[in-house]
Amino acid sequence: MAFTYSDLITQIRNYAELDSNGLSDSTISVIVQNTENRIYREINIDAYKLYASAVTIAGTSTISVPSGLRNIRYVEMIDSSGNVSNLLEKDSSYLAEYIENPNSTTLRSEPKYWANFNAITWFVAPVPNTSYAINIAYYAQPVTITSSATSTSYISTYAQDLLLYGSLVETYKYLKGPADMIQVYEASYQQAKQSFGIEQTGRRRRDEYKDGEIRALPEGQQQ
């Protein structure tokens, strides 16, 4: 059963044994958003895999990237014949040196590399000699559960414990609560993160026929 944001607020206050006077709605909103960002930085979640397209412009070394992008999975280019090739990631300083003369028409060619310039723009190199389709596979920044009282999210539906324990860590930090309580909830968060991470990057990306079934060893036993 999914946590709504209202449910999460209630659980946080119940665990902390405080009401809205001790933990205001605005404070909890910041706590939960900080927790969401922590989770999204630490775990690549399949539900937030997206694809976007861009098109290069002849003579222009920059392209626009999708908003809400957190992490890149891969970037591929499709030429006019339909051939697909992967672009390699480089530092923007490398591309600045690689493109000796951006205005030279004789140096324009099919791009091989891409680099971050800022949050909304990338460089590609060499400078394109024509239009190429660019496909971007990435992890997106999802809408926060705090957007409304009835909001839910993938993690509030499938990893309620992860979201709750992470929020309680932030809550007790805010309250300057006992260190042992912070440690308890941090340990619970780490345990929930490990099991959720195994599901996301392990079980969901394995073929049981080819890779075999994941087996948990008895506690204390090593392979």
3-state secondary structure 71-123: EEEEEEEECCCCCEEECEECCHHHHHHHCCCCCCCCCCECCCEEEECCCCEEE
Higher pLDDT, 210 or 63: 63
Residue-wise pLDDT tens digits, 123-159: 899 999 999 999 999 999 899 999 999 999 999 999 9
Query: Which of 46-60, 100-114, 186-200 is the least confident region?
Result: 100-114
Residues 6+ apart with CB under 8 A from 48: 40, 70, 139, 140, 141, 142, 154
Is residue 112 pLDDT above 60, yes or no?
A: yes
| pLDDT for the residue 212 | 58
Residue 138 bridge partners (DSSP)? 50, 72
Element (DSSP H or E) covering residue 222: none
Which stretches does DSSP call E strand in the chain? Answer: 49-55, 62-64, 69-78, 84-86, 88-89, 113-116, 121-125, 133-140
| pLDDT for the residue 213 | 59
Give the C-alpha separation, 146 to 151, whole Å: 7
Burial profile 50-89: b = 16 or more Cβ within 10 angstroms, e = fewer:
eebebebeeeebebebeeebeeeeebebeeeeeeeeebee
Q: What's the chain's average pLDDT?
A: 87
Is residue 208 pLDDT above 80, yes or no?
A: no
Q: CA nearest 70: which of 50, 94, 89?
A: 50
Q: CA nearest 188: which of 159, 220, 210, 217?
A: 159
Query: Residue 199 burial (CB < 10 Å; 0-12/13-18/19+)?
Result: middle
| pLDDT for the residue 65 | 85
Residue-wise pLDDT tens digits, 72-104: 999 999 988 889 999 999 998 888 888 877 777
